Amino acid sequence: MAEIRNYTMNFGPQHPAAHGVLRLILELDGETVVRADPHVGLLHRATEKLAESKPFNQSIGYMDRLDYVSMMCNEHAYVRAIENLLGVEVPERAQYIRTLFDEITRLLNHLMWIGANALDLGAMTVFLYAFREREQLMDCYEAVSGARMHATYYRPGGVYRDLPEVMPQIAESRWRKGKDLKRSNEWREGSLLDFIDQFAADFDSKVDDYETLLTDNRIWKQRTVGIGAVSPERALQMGFTGPMLRGSGVEWDLRKHQPYAKYADVDFDIVVGLNGDCYDRYLVRVEEMRQSNRIIKQCVNWLRANQGPVMPKNFKIVPPSREEMKSDMEATIHHFKLFTEGFCVPEGETYAAVEAPKGEFGCYLISDGANKPFRVHLRAPGFAHLSAMNEMINGHMLGDVPAIIGTQDIVFGEVDR
Amino acid sequence: MDMQSVMTLLLTVGKILLIVVPLILTVAYYTYAERKVIGYMQARMGPNRVGPWGLLQPFADVFKLLFKEIVLPSSANKFLFYLAPVLSLAPAFAAWAVVPFDDWLVLADIDASLLYVLALTSMGVYGVIVAGWASNSKYAFIGALRSAAQIVSYEIAMGFALVGVIIVAGSLNLREIVLAQQGGIFDWFWLPLLPLFLVYFISGVAETNRAPFDVAEGESEIVAGFHVEYAGAAFAVFFLAEYANMILISALTALMFAGGWLSPFENVPLLENTFIAQPHLLWFLGKMFFFMFFFLWFRATFPRYRYDQIMRLGWKVFIPITIVWLIAAAVFVLLGWVEQGV
């Protein structure tokens, strides 16, 4: 009898469903996957090492580029680690703004995920619907920071600046004019908060739109129910966090269990699944979008009612205003020191984690008292999820591989760092 | 060769061109329509830069593809590699020879035209298999194997559905099948053969490897499947074949289940003697475009089936349905509920 060998196949690093640069070596027995060996590191940019050679405040921008679909949550973990060591108090308004933007980020990430996961399974339309809403949220990023993705908006002590009073409008162009332009600018007449408020009021119906295309779709269910099931015990053992863990039915959410920013003061529910398969994780993330929207509404209401500073008046870590700088010698010195040397952080080590959209994103920071970190370690949720790849895929078919990569919500920026 | 046979030859070539050139143009604008329709379904514009409303986009695409290099993968079988696109295009075009566009407008009015169509549409799979084999690529190979299995299974369901049509029409000739449906929209075969009609059309979608059955080229799994290694004109030929097949399936559905060129308003009081009650080529084209639209609609709506699910749908759902309904159709004819023949 002829010797029958399994078929070994490279899935990636150049592959439309590999979500970036995942190189997955698949061993196929017919269509069934016997072994999946993920190779990582193709997007390694040495973020942790780079952070060691820069003043603390200059590495915030690198954090955006880790998980490049949930930018501000990454900043939040890093900034919180610095704040822990510095011992600065973040003003309440800044905390609400951070809560608001963490949730906007969660929506950004989950919208990207729902689109990409659906696209991996062949449903194109959801992707474009999700991007329509993502566009609006990116405009919020742009309104506060000037950048649509890599915002660098969170700073040690608070946020870069208060929310703008005016939401920028879309300019007239050859492609967008007349009624079309008017409709696009309809929500943009007032402040940023008005815009977010209108968006939030409308967003639930948009989630309904996605759900009509997927939730009860027979093909969608056939493709996701029972695929990549993980038991709650195994999920905990493998270090799952976020929707991956909650999808398996473990009620664990840092926002509730170790509240930071203003999560203790807002009202929301933890969403958990039952079976830990792709379908449950899908349902968890969809419901999380609705919960995020709930938090956004509460933050908008609070921010409208209460004014206040968004940065402490501690010029050792916060730059003085440009105006003061022109007339006040002290302010000029502070400015010069901050933008050349940065600030020194007391000796010590800390771990600060946030519930990023993908799971627990943590920053472990050691300072030796200098103006640069001695060591930064970033705990990326995707790394732990990816290491479960073989276990999740094993025994499923080739067609399920994109479903499982999609459900893990992998972004290589954070896995490879 | 005497003068007469030369004239016959020229006349035949002319007739072929009369079918093939509009067909190619339809393919071109079908791709345009696909991008526009799906675009509007997905809250975007579709092509709108090349020419007014992007109308010249198909030509821009064609020229782009023609000017690109055809890359031959290393240790690929050169002969088979270049043969494969031709193998898949030729049957897609040849099948049109027996398609009656109108009562008299048909290139070859042969008696067993339905058998001819069945035979040729099954040939298309060889192009796919040969392409997958000759490319010397793992993705292409998996795509080819998937495609072979899929087309073989759906061919059976499709064949059974057509047997139903033959039973009711009492003929294998497509023209006579259409003429057997005279009498208005409720006399067309979609009604007595409703399950077969649905099975046939869905199998047709599967047969042409279109979403949600596009596992043979399933982008997110095996990138582009059997034609992953093809570029430029060779890829364009595959593309042309796929779209020509889609149009063919739509045309056949219109002929066999939706009365071909017959008007839906035949025998409707008041309209009986007006223009819209008359059979016309435009009715046929309209029905064909109607079914072609479904291909696009499916693509924008459904997620992709997994390979084993497609096979299950084919073998465990469609084939039993067709077998049951074949018997039902035979009983209908026997009891005289459905009138057989022309």
Residue from B263, B268, B267, B256 nearest B286 by CA: B263
SS3 A35: strand
Look at B42 and A128 and tell me if their CB atoms are within 8 Å: yes
Look at A122 and B211 and tell me if their CB atoms are within 8 Å: yes
Look at residue B1 in the predicted model and tell me its pLDDT.
67
SS3 A26: strand
Look at residue A213 in the predicted model and tell me its pLDDT.
87
Which residues lie below 8 Å from residue A258, measured CB to CB, with a gap of 6+? Answer: A353
Look at B304 and A122 and tell me if their CB atoms are within 8 Å: yes
Look at residue B306 in the predicted model and tell me its pLDDT.
85
Quote the tokens at residue A131. 């991007």
Quote the tokens at residue A376. 């930064």
Nearest by CB: A122 against B42, B303, B307: B303
Please check the confidence at residue B341 and state whether its pLDDT lies above 70: no
Cα radius of gyration rounded to whole Å, chain B: 21
- Searching chain A, which residue's CA lies closest to the CA of residue B138? A9
Look at A399 and B219 and tell me if their CB atoms are within 8 Å: no
Return the higher-pLDDT residue of B211 and B251: B251
Nearest by CB: B220 against A17, A132, A217: A17
Angstrom CA distances, A329 to A12, A313, A334, A341, stand at: 57, 16, 9, 18
Could you tell me if A394 and A35 are in contact, meaning their C-beta atoms sit under 8 angstroms apart?
yes
Please check the confidence at residue B342 and state whether its pLDDT lies above 60: no
**What is the CA B17 to chain-centroid distance, rounded?**
19
Nearest by CB: A125 against B41, B214, B222: B41
pLDDT, mean of residues A369-377:
90
Q: If you count residue pairs, one on A and one on B, with CB atoms under 8 Å apart, how many are there?
A: 86
Q: Which of A120-124, A195-199, B94-98, B337-341 has the lowest mean pLDDT?
A: B337-341
How many Cβ atoms from other residues are within 10 Å of residue A187's Cβ?
19
In chain A, the N- to C-terminal Cα span, in Å, equals 48
Q: Does B28 touch chain A (CB under 8 A)?
A: no
Nearest by CB: B221 against A132, A214, A398: A398
Look at residue A1 in the predicted model and tell me its pLDDT.
62
Look at B302 and A122 and tell me if their CB atoms are within 8 Å: yes
Q: Report the run of H or E that residue A353 belongs to, with start and end.
A: strand A348-356
Q: What are the pLDDT digits (tens) for A336-352?
A: 988 888 888 999 999 99
- Among B136, B214, B306, the strongest candidate for a mutation testing the A interface, having the largest count of A CBs within 10 A, is B306
Portion 127-146 of B in contact with A at CB < 8 A: 138-139, 142
Return the higher-pLDDT residue of A21 and A246: A246
Angstrom CA distances, B18 to A138, A210, B242, stand at: 53, 45, 20
Q: Report the run of H or E that residue A211 belongs to, with start and end.
A: helix A192-214
Look at A122 and B223 and tell me if their CB atoms are within 8 Å: no
Q: What are the pLDDT digits (tens) for B109-140?
A: 888 888 888 888 888 888 888 888 888 888 88
Q: Does B217 touch chain A (CB under 8 A)?
A: no
Residue from A22, A218, A252 nearest A116 by CA: A22
Cα angle A92, A243, A245; round to 5:
115
Query: What is the C-alpha to C-alpha distance for residues A232 and A227, in angstroms, rounded to an integer?
Result: 15
Partnered with residue A379 across adjacent β-strands are: A362
Q: Does B43 touch chain A (CB under 8 A)?
A: yes
**Residues of chain A contacting B43 with CB distance shorter than 8 Å:** 128-129, 132
pLDDT, mean of residues B178-192:
80
Query: What is the C-alpha to C-alpha distance for residues B216 and B234, in angstroms, rounded to an integer?
Result: 18
pLDDT, mean of residues B133-148:
85
- Searching chain B, which residue's CA lies closest to the CA of residue A220? B303
Query: What is the C-alpha to C-alpha distance for residues B27 and B62, in angstroms, rounded to an integer?
Result: 11
The size of chain A, in residues, is 417
Query: What is the C-alpha to C-alpha distance for residues A9 and A385, in angstroms, rounded to an integer?
Result: 22
**Residues of chain A contacting B218 with CB distance shorter than 8 Å:** 122, 399
Q: What are the pLDDT digits (tens) for A234-278?
A: 999 998 998 999 989 888 888 888 888 889 888 999 899 888 889
In chain B, the N- to C-terminal Cα span, in Å, equals 40
Q: Token pair 């209108």 is at which residue?
A: A198
Please check the confidence at residue A300 and state whether its pLDDT lies above 60: yes
Nearest by CB: B302 against A9, A123, A402: A123
**Residues of chain B contacting A400 with CB distance shorter than 8 Å:** 306
pLDDT, mean of residues A103-109:
92
Chain A residues whose C-beta sits inside 8 Å of any chain B C-beta? 7, 9-10, 15-17, 31, 118-125, 128-129, 132, 213-214, 217, 219-220, 222-223, 397-402
Look at B306 and A222 and tell me if their CB atoms are within 8 Å: yes
Residue from A180, A121, A369 nearest B302 by CA: A121
Look at B308 and A397 and tell me if their CB atoms are within 8 Å: yes
Look at residue A111 in the predicted model and tell me its pLDDT.
92
pLDDT, mean of residues B309-336:
87
Q: Edge to edge, what strands does the sheet with A375-379 contain? A: A348-356, A359-367, A375-379
Look at residue A285 in the predicted model and tell me its pLDDT.
92
Look at residue B177 in the predicted model and tell me its pLDDT.
84
Look at residue B118 in the predicted model and tell me its pLDDT.
86
Look at residue B122 in the predicted model and tell me its pLDDT.
83
Query: What is the C-alpha to C-alpha distance for residues A1 and A6, in angstroms, rounded to an integer?
Result: 16
Nearest by CB: A402 against B214, B220, B302: B220
**Residues of chain A contacting B142 with CB distance shorter than 8 Å:** 7, 9, 31, 398
Nearest by CB: B138 against A9, A128, A129: A9
Look at residue B32 in the predicted model and tell me its pLDDT.
92
Quote the tokens at residue B2. 């005497």
Return the higher-pLDDT residue of B316 and A20: B316
Partnered with residue A38 across adjacent β-strands are: A24
Nearest by CB: B304 against A10, A121, A397: A121
Mean pLDDT computed over every residue of chain B: 85
Smallest CA–CA distance, residue B59 to chain A, in Å, is 23
Q: Does B221 touch chain A (CB under 8 A)?
A: yes
Look at B142 and A398 and tell me if their CB atoms are within 8 Å: yes
**Residues of chain A contacting B34 with CB distance shorter than 8 Å:** none
Query: What is the C-alpha to C-alpha distance for residues A170 and A180, in angstroms, rounded to an integer?
Result: 11
Look at A7 and B212 and tell me if their CB atoms are within 8 Å: no
Q: What are the pLDDT digits (tens) for B49-93?
A: 888 888 999 999 889 988 988 888 888 888 888 898 988 889 988
DSSP label at A165?
Answer: S
Angstrom CA distances, A12 to A9, B142, B211, stand at: 9, 16, 23
pLDDT, mean of residues A47-62:
89
SS3 A105: helix
Q: Which of A49-58, B168-177, B213-222, B241-250 has the lowest mean pLDDT?
A: B213-222
**Residues of chain A contacting B144 with CB distance shorter than 8 Å:** none
Partnered with residue A351 across adjacent β-strands are: A364
Look at B220 and A119 and tell me if their CB atoms are within 8 Å: yes
pTM for the full model? 0.88
Q: What are the pLDDT digits (tens) for A164-213?
A: 888 888 888 887 888 888 888 888 888 889 899 999 999 999 999 889 88
Smallest CA–CA distance, residue A354 to chain B, in Å, is 32
Residue from A46, A88, A51, A62 nearest A314 by CA: A88
Residue from A94, A60, A108, A106 nearest A355 by CA: A106
Cα angle A259, A264, A266; round to 5:
130
| ipTM reported for the complex, 2 dp | 0.83
Q: Does B109 touch chain A (CB under 8 A)?
A: no
Q: Which of A6-20, A134-148, A219-233, B137-151 has the lowest mean pLDDT?
A: A6-20
Query: What is the C-alpha to C-alpha distance for residues B19 and B295, in angstroms, rounded to an integer?
Result: 22
Cα angle A80, A82, A86; round to 5:
115
Nearest by CB: A124 against B142, B222, B300: B300
Q: Percentage of chain A surpassing pLDDT 70?
A: 100
